[in-house]
């Protein structure tokens, strides 16, 4: 599997792993607009997990599918949220919202001083290269 590292402020390193598309329908249709489901584990050190912010700090992120329609992606995201809630046990709390018709949510569970959190988000990729400023906000061309 191919990967590359990107240096980040504070001496941190972001590791990217390139994945081959496994959804045959998507692979046949590319390049095209696609929706993907991402699950991130936020950095909960210091107690501020930033669940309400646009770009909360994440320790890890993985893809849970790429789809040709937003409906398929939303259905997958809802399944993932339910699965995460079941895995985290009876103390887990789940919240799901929609932003521009796409699922966003999180599951949070705490035991004593330990907090476990996962964020789930559906995003659309139209294949265009997007330029970002230092804060991760899109730059309008």
pLDDT the model gives residue 79: 97
Q: What is the pLDDT of residues 29-82, one digit of tens each?
A: 888 899 999 999 887 665 555 555 555 677 788 889 999 999 999 999 999 999
Measure Cα distances from 117 to 17, 48, 54 in Å. Answer: 22, 11, 16
Instruction: Write out the two tokens for 106.
Output: 């999180």
Measure Cα distances from 56 to 51, 61, 98, 100 in Å. Answer: 6, 12, 17, 19
User: Which of the given ranges, 24-33, 65-74, 119-128, 129-138, has the highest pLDDT on average?
Assistant: 65-74
How much of the chain exceeds pLDDT 70, in percent? Answer: 82
Cβ atoms of 55 and 132 closer than 8 Å:
no
Give the Cα separation of 124 and 109 in Å (integer).
Answer: 28
């Amino acid at each position: 599997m191919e990967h590359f590292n990107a240096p980040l402020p504070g001496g941190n390193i972001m590791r990217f792993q390139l994945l081959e598309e496994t959804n045959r329908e998507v692979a046949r249709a590319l390049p095209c607009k696609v929706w993907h489901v991402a699950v991130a584990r936020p950095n909960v050190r210091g107690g501020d997990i930033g669940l309400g912010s646009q770009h909360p700090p994440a320790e890890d992120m993985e893809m849970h599918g790429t789809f040709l329609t937003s409906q398929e992606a939303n259905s997958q995201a809802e399944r993932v949220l339910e699965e995460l809630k079941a895995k985290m046990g009876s103390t887990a709390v789940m919240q799901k919202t929609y932003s521009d018709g796409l699922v966003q949510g999180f599951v949070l569970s705490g035991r004593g001083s330990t907090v476990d959190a996962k964020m789930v988000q559906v995003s659309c990729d139209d294949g265009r290269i997007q330029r970002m400023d230092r804060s991760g906000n899109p730059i309008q061309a």
